[in-house]
């Protein structure tokens, strides 16, 4: 059984194709999301169907897979079963012989859960659609606002957290405001929108090399993004954010890209977790004391073991790492099934059963033809980094069809600088009023 | 001022391009929806962005247009102003010299508003996404259901109302169940899904000729749709529908395509309305006694004046009629502005100021390569009718880009019989639980 249909979960299931096992894949959504492009949905460049693929379709030709749409709300490791709340609300207990937890992470507001309503994070398609709604509604409201101060606030966008997602969001918002939608409005100049990127650490993209941070900061400034590093947010409300030290930024739209916390399923397991809620796993990604349970992807806390100087570092929560872990776990399960599930490994197998993360580099995109990257030891930036980023992301997009549609869309956008997905949907409040008419 | 960005409203605004007037276009949504293809979003064949275009983008090159995203919740015809609830909830009063009401229609449950929760109708993108969610979730639930009777109910889809929308929905649901998604599931045979189309009148497509109804019924049956004509629904609850006479159909998904009612804005006007809430207008589409207010599209109750035998019939609530009315109203306004707004018309102008609906025919699609039509006096059915339908609809799609994307999508679907938009999104209940984790 595999819990989670993200990059790690899919890699596990794919790795078990043709193996003499029955695989049950459980996910809350009926679709896999290509997370690295989710910010493009949030900023109205792509539409949801372009970066998501129904999980059932992905595995329709892999007969040993059953897909269950549901949310795991309980785990009994002794009884070897999980409790699943299905799409229609009913609850089902499903047993397993081996379990792979790949439920990923969600955003964390560091204990300030009240902030969630005012500063949505970006993990699911629904999150992206909600951010898109807020982003576009801010311009709509500003267009009709008579009060100059209030209009200024409505045209202020604050992104909290300057990791890759925050950088992508801030860059895209600033770029779109200054170009694509500028001619759509009559009273406001969307090009005057203020985009503030706040980071608690002393530089943007703190997980990358200082040189990449500098290049990224330069490119963000070129796009008009205002950077506030070494700045801590102490409050978020409907009208903006409060900064440590007493200052305040009034904003029409605040987005959260600052913290992630591992899925609660890690805690259900009763195993050791790190401060981000990730499960501390053995070198073969199994849970210590539970050799039938593996953890892969963002939910796993794995030490890098490539050399003494990296020993303390953890494998990062990025898509390539998740896919590598997934493939590794699938290979582990295959090997154990082949030799008999409970037969101890021979020394030869033992040697292979240590997950090693192969870091192929990091890329962060900033805007149209702007990105930074660290690939094969090289520092890339600007158009080259962006082209490389676009190529890698399109290549990896799940599903042949999506790949072509995205390429088509991107080519179109690149040539005509047009945005086709600029819809404001999901206005539940509006909706109710309308139906009541 | 134009209220409503549907086919009628857009035609009015376009018709005023270059005229020496300032146009304010108010719509609840920020996008125009190509309504005839909405059922394809509801049945997961197209994604929302493919049939909708941001209104601002449509008019970005028409400088005399201002777009306001908001809901009209009040109209003072004496003071010549409307009250608008904007996207951010604030209220604004906007004055006008001339007003065009083109706010269209919404679904009507004939006084049974409690049915709305169990049988959504199809008017907006949000409606379509909600129907798509229910349609797909029913299969997900059936796949995990152990009880045969309950599984059978989950695989029963009821569509109430066999006008064009009901026929399209029923045909598409049956076709998709029997083909596209069949290999996605392991336990259920989606091809065994029961699709029931209920109509109170004695034939499907009652507004078309009896021969078209017969051909449509044949094609629906070929697709596996169960027809129940002359059948009246007397109750709808979470588990199915109750039929007059005492029988009951248990169903996992019930859709409403039976009744429409004109927007409430007609009532705000204080003018005469017909039983569907449509405003009874003068031959020039103005409101009797209010020459500065016009009504166009589904909100207008217009008698056909093409000959004695048709005199009692009303202009139908279809897209071509809405576009014709919109163009006509724009021409009226232009003519009046040219001669001075309050100058009485000369007899020559008077003669032109009578709206005449040009019926170019009717097409109703039933499924892949299946449709019926009445065009230029000919009865069409099957592939010819469908090809004609596809051509007409793609040609009319607003926005060059959408046109190409839809053609691309359709070609792909036709060749590979694949569905790219099969996402279940907008699960607010799920969402909240997840965020609370």
Query: Would you place residue B340 in the very low, low, confident or very high pLDDT band (cuts 50, 70, 90)?
Result: confident
DSSP class of A36:
G
Q: Which of B191, B258, B270, B264 is nearest to B231 (CA)?
A: B258
| Partner-chain contact B60 A141, CB within 8 Å | no
Q: What is the pLDDT of residue B408?
A: 58
| Partner-chain contact B144 A86, CB within 8 Å | yes
Is B168 a known active-site residue?
Answer: yes
Q: Which of A125, A5, A54 is nearest to B427 (CA)?
A: A125
Q: Which of A42, A427, A424 is nearest to A257 (CA)?
A: A42
| Partner-chain contact B408 A412, CB within 8 Å | no
SS3 B302: coil
Query: Does residue A350 carry a pLDDT above 80?
Result: no
Q: Looking at beta carbons, which residues of chain A come within 8 Å of B30?
A: 136, 140, 422-424
Query: Would you place residue A362 in the very low, low, confident or very high pLDDT band (cuts 50, 70, 90)?
Result: confident
Q: What is the pLDDT of residue A417?
A: 52
Least confident range of A5-19, A310-324, B66-80 = A310-324
* Half-sphere exposure at residue A292, Cβ-oriented, CA atoms within 13 angstroms: 17
Task: Summarize chain A as % helix, strand, coil (round to 5).
Answer: 40, 25, 35
Least confident range of A284-293, B26-35, B300-309, B346-355 = B346-355
Other Cβ atoms closer than 10 A to B260: 20
How many Å apart are CA B202 and CA A420, to the nearest integer? 43
Query: Would you place residue B181 in the very low, low, confident or very high pLDDT band (cuts 50, 70, 90)?
Result: confident
The alpha carbon of residue A361 is apart from the nearest alpha carbon of chain B, in Å, by 31
Q: Which of A48, A422, A431 sits opposite B54 (nearest CB)?
A: A422
SS3 A364: strand
Q: What is the pLDDT of residue B433?
A: 31
Query: Does residue A393 carry a pLDDT above 70?
Result: yes
Query: Does residue B164 carry a pLDDT above 90?
Result: yes
Q: What is the pLDDT of residue B117?
A: 94
The alpha carbon of residue A212 is apart from the nearest alpha carbon of chain B, in Å, by 33
Q: What is the pLDDT of residue B101?
A: 97
Alpha-carbon distances of B182 from A60, B47, B423, rounded to whole Å? 9, 20, 16
Alpha-carbon distances of B15 from A128, B2, B62, B301, B330, rounded to whole Å? 36, 12, 11, 21, 5
With CA atoms as reference, the chain B residue closest to A185 would be B56
Q: Which of A29, A87, A423 sits opposite B125 (nearest CB)?
A: A423
Burial class (CB in 10 A: 0-12, 13-18, 19+), A361: middle
Q: Looking at beta carbons, which residues of chain B come within 8 Å of A87?
A: 137, 140-141, 424, 427
Q: Which residues pair with A99 in a beta bridge?
A: A293
How many Å apart are CA B82 and CA B319, to the nearest integer? 26
Query: Would you place residue B305 in the very low, low, confident or very high pLDDT band (cuts 50, 70, 90)?
Result: low
Q: Looking at beta carbons, which residues of chain B come within 8 Å of A437?
A: 106, 263-264
Query: Does residue B374 carry a pLDDT above 60?
Result: yes
Over residues A242-261, the mean pLDDT reads 94
Q: Looking at beta carbons, which residues of chain A come within 8 Å of B144?
A: 68, 70, 86, 92
Pairing of strands A279-280, A300-301: parallel
Other Cβ atoms closer than 10 A to B338: 12
How many Å apart are CA B120 and CA A432, to the nearest integer? 12
The arrangement of strands across the sheet holding B194-198 comes to B225-228, B194-198, B156-160, B253-256
Over residues A27-52, the mean pLDDT reads 87
Does residue B322 contact residue B39 with C-beta atoms inside 8 Å? no
Give, for A137, the enclosing helix (H) or strand (E): helix A125-144
Query: Would you place residue A282 in the very low, low, confident or very high pLDDT band (cuts 50, 70, 90)?
Result: very high
Which is more confidently placed, B367 or A350?
A: B367
| Partner-chain contact A52 B423, CB within 8 Å | yes
Query: Does residue A121 carry a pLDDT above 90?
Result: yes
Chain B CB within 8 Å of residue A412 CB: yes
Q: How many Å is the maximal CA-CA distance in chain B?
A: 76
Please identify among residues 39-78 of chain A the ones whose CB lies closer than 8 Å to any CB of chain B: 47-50, 52, 54, 56-57, 60-61, 63, 65-71
Q: Which of B30, B113, B16, B114 is nearest to B65 (CA)?
A: B16
| Partner-chain contact A129 B425, CB within 8 Å | yes
Q: What is the pLDDT of residue A430?
A: 35
Mean pLDDT of chain A: 86
Q: What is the pLDDT of residue A435?
A: 32
Over residues B281-302, the mean pLDDT reads 94
Q: Which of A50, A183, A433 sits opposite B71 (nearest CB)?
A: A433
Mean pLDDT of chain B: 86
Helices (H), A179-247: 210-222
- Name the phi and psi angles at B288, rounded to 5: -50, 125
Domains of chain A: 2-106+260-352 (3.50.50.60), 113-258 (3.50.50.100)
Query: Would you place residue B432 in the very low, low, confident or very high pLDDT band (cuts 50, 70, 90)?
Result: very low
The alpha carbon of residue B46 is apart from the nearest alpha carbon of chain A, in Å, by 9
* Residue A9: partners with Cβ closer than 8 Å, 6 or more residues away: A2, A3, A25, A27, A100, A102, A296, A297, A326
Over residues A388-393, the mean pLDDT reads 80
The alpha carbon of residue B49 is apart from the nearest alpha carbon of chain A, in Å, by 5
CA angle B289, B294, B300 (to 5 degrees): 100
Q: What is the pLDDT of residue A79?
A: 96
pLDDT (tens digit per residue) in B90-132: 899 999 999 999 999 988 998 899 999 999 999 999 999 999 9
With CA atoms as reference, the chain A residue closest to B122 would be A435
* Extended strands (E) in B122-191: 156-160
Over residues B290-305, the mean pLDDT reads 91
* Residue A138: partners with Cβ closer than 8 Å, 6 or more residues away: A154, A155, A157, A252, A253
Q: Looking at beta carbons, which residues of chain A come within 8 Å of B109?
A: none
Query: Does residue B431 carry a pLDDT above 60?
Result: no
How many Å apart are CA A288 and CA A291, to the nearest integer? 7
pLDDT (tens digit per residue) in B210-247: 999 999 999 999 999 999 999 999 999 999 999 999 99
Alpha-carbon distances of B347 from A171, B352, B353, rounded to whole Å? 61, 9, 10
Q: What is the pLDDT of residue B125?
A: 92
- Given CA atoms B7, B12, B15, B19 in this order, what sign does their dihedral have? negative
The alpha carbon of residue B347 is apart from the nearest alpha carbon of chain A, in Å, by 39
Task: Name the active-site residue from A145, A168, A175, A199.
Answer: A168
Over residues A2-24, the mean pLDDT reads 95
Alpha-carbon distances of A185 from A158, A193, A362, A419, B1, rounded to whole Å? 21, 13, 37, 15, 17
Which is more confidently placed, B361 or A294?
A: A294
Please identify among residues 251-290 of chain A the ones whose CB lies closer than 8 Å to any CB of chain B: 263-264
Q: What is the pLDDT of residue B179?
A: 85
With CA atoms as reference, the chain A residue closest to B428 would be A126
pLDDT (tens digit per residue) in A394-418: 776 655 455 555 555 555 555 555 5
Q: Which residue has the tokens 């078209």?
A: B212
- Name the phi and psi angles at B313, rounded to 5: -80, 150
**B371: its two tokens:** 């449709």
Q: Which of A47, A141, A435 sits opposite B87 (nearest CB)?
A: A141
Least confident range of A78-82, A165-169, A297-301, A428-432 = A428-432
Task: Name the active-site residue from B168, B175, B199, B374.
Answer: B168
SS3 B162: coil
Mutation site for A-interface testing, chosen from B31, B83, B87 by largest number of A Cβ within 10 Å: B87
Least confident range of A286-290, A342-346, A347-351, B11-15 = A347-351
The alpha carbon of residue A209 is apart from the nearest alpha carbon of chain B, in Å, by 32
How many Å apart are CA B191 and CA B200, to the nearest integer? 27
Q: Which of A50, A66, A420 sits opposite B186 (nearest CB)?
A: A66
Query: Does residue B429 carry a pLDDT above 50?
Result: no
With CA atoms as reference, the chain A residue closest to B433 would be A71
ipTM: 0.82
Q: What is the pLDDT of residue B400?
A: 47
Least confident range of A177-181, A303-307, B17-21 = A303-307
The string of DSSP codes covering B410-435 is HHHHHHH---S-------HHHHHHHH
* Residue B156: partners with Cβ closer than 8 Å, 6 or more residues away: B193, B194, B195, B196, B240, B249, B250, B251, B252, B253
Q: Which of A28, A125, A424 sits opposite B423 (nearest CB)?
A: A125
Alpha-carbon distances of B138 from A93, A321, B135, B188, B426, rounded to whole Å? 20, 35, 6, 11, 15
Q: Looking at beta carbons, which residues of chain A come within 8 Å of B116?
A: 435
Q: Looking at beta carbons, which residues of chain B come within 8 Å of A408?
A: 405, 408
- Given CA atoms B364, B180, B395, A422 in this order, what sign does their dihedral have? positive
How many Å apart are CA B250 and CA B150, to the nearest integer? 9
Helical packing angle, A164-178 and A210-222, nearest 10°:
20
Query: Does residue A351 carry a pLDDT above 60?
Result: no
pTM, to two decimals: 0.86
Q: Which of A412, A292, A317 is nearest to B405 (CA)?
A: A412
Helical packing angle, A382-396 and A400-416, nearest 10°:
150
């Amino acid at each position: 059984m595999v819990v989670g249909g993200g990059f790690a979960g899919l890699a596990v299931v794919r790795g078990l194709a043709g193996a003499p096992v029955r695989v049950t894949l459980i996910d809350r959504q009926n679709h896999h999301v290509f997370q690295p492009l989710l910010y493009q949905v949030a900023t109205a460049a792509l539409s949801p169907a372009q970066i998501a693929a129904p999980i059932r379709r992905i595995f329709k030709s892999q007969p040993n897979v059953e897909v269950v749409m549901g949310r795991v709300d309980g785990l009994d490791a002794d009884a070897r079963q999980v409790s699943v709340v299905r799409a229609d609300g009913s609850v089902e207990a499903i047993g397993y012989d081996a379990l792979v937890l790949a439920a990923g992470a969600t955003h964390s507001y560091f204990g300030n859960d009240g902030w969630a309503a005012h500063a949505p994070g970006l993990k699911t398609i629904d999150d992206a659609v909600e951010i898109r709604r807020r982003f576009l509604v801010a311009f709509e409201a500003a267009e009709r606002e008579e009060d100059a101060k209030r209009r200024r606030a409505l045209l202020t966008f604050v992104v909290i957290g300057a990791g890759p997602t925050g950088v992508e969001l801030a860059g895209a918002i600033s770029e779109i405001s200054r170009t694509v939608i500028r001619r759509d409005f009559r009273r406001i100049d969307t090009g005057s929108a203020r985009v503030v990127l706040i980071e608690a650490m002393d530089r943007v993209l703190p997980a990358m090399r200082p040189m990449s941070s500098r290049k990224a900061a330069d490119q963000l400034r070129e796009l008009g993004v205002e950077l506030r590093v070494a700045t801590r947010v102490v409050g978020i409300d409907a009208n903006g954010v409060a900064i440590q030290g007493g200052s305040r930024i009034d904003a029409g739209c605040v987005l959260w890209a600052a913290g992630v916390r591992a899925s609660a399923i890690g805690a259900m397991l009763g195993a050791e977790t790190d401060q981000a809620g990730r499960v501390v796993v053995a070198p073969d990604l199994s849970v210590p004391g539970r050799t039938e349970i593996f953890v892969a992807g963002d939910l796993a806390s794995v030490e890098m073991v490539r050399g003494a100087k990296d020993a303390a570092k953890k494998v990062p929560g990025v898509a390539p790492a998740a896919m590598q872990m997934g493939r590794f776990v699938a290979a582990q399960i295959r090997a154990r099934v082949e030799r008999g599930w409970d037969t101890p490994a021979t020394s030869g197998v033992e040697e292979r059963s240590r997950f090693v993360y192969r870091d192929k580099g990091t890329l962060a995109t900033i805007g149209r033809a702007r990105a930074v990257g660290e690939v094969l030891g090289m520092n890339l930036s600007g158009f080259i980094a962006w082209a490389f980023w676009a190529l890698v992301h399109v290549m990896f997009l799940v599903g042949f069809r999506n790949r072509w549609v995205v390429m088509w869309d991107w080519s179109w956008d690149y040539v005509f600088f047009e945005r086709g997905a600029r819809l404001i949907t999901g206005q539940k409040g509006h909706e109710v009023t309308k139906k009541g008419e």
